[in-house]
Amino acid sequence: LVSTLASKLGLADVIADKVDLTGRVGGANPASKSLTLIHAMVAGASHIDHVDMLRAGASSKVLPFHVVAPSTLGTYLRSFTFGHVRQLDEVIEEELAKAWSLGMAPGDDPLVIDIDSTICEVSGYHKQGAA
């Protein structure tokens, strides 16, 4: 369902157009990396290693993007600066406008988006940011 919605809204194309990590380590192919992260979170991933659930079985036959490895996704996420996060804000703005124009808006009713943020402790000194 999520993959169908993302395809209908052209999410991969918008990410490819708006997110520019040129010259950053891990910055290539932001669309497939972002879609991997989005789909993993929707599937219940609580940490980066859970991305592997999207690589199991025949998932690659039903998902319209290349699912990247957890280590690749970690490198991608570390390549972001505040300015790159703002690029993602532009993606969200454009995608919500598209969704609303297709009739997905809540109308006159209030809309509540509840995003559960999980912060997990990192152990050891081998992970960037753990020190």
pLDDT tens by residue, 3-57 = 888 999 999 999 999 999 999 998 899 999 999 999 999 888 888 888 888 888 8
Transcribe 68-81 into DSSP letters.
Answer: PPHHHHHHHHHT--
Q: Which three-class secondary structure string do you get for 76-119? A: HHHCCCHHHHHHHHHHHHHHHHHHHHHHHCCCCCCCCCCCCCCC
- Answer whether residue 73 shows pLDDT above 80: yes
Q: What is the average pLDDT value for the chain, to the nearest integer?
A: 86
- State mean pLDDT over 82-87: 90
Which pTM value belongs to this model? 0.78
Taking the C-alpha atoms of residue 37 and residue 50, their distance in angstroms, rounded to an integer, is 10
Amino acid 127: pLDDT: 64
User: By mean pLDDT, which of 37-41, 84-88, 107-111 is the weakest?
Assistant: 107-111
- Looking at residue 19, its amino acid is V
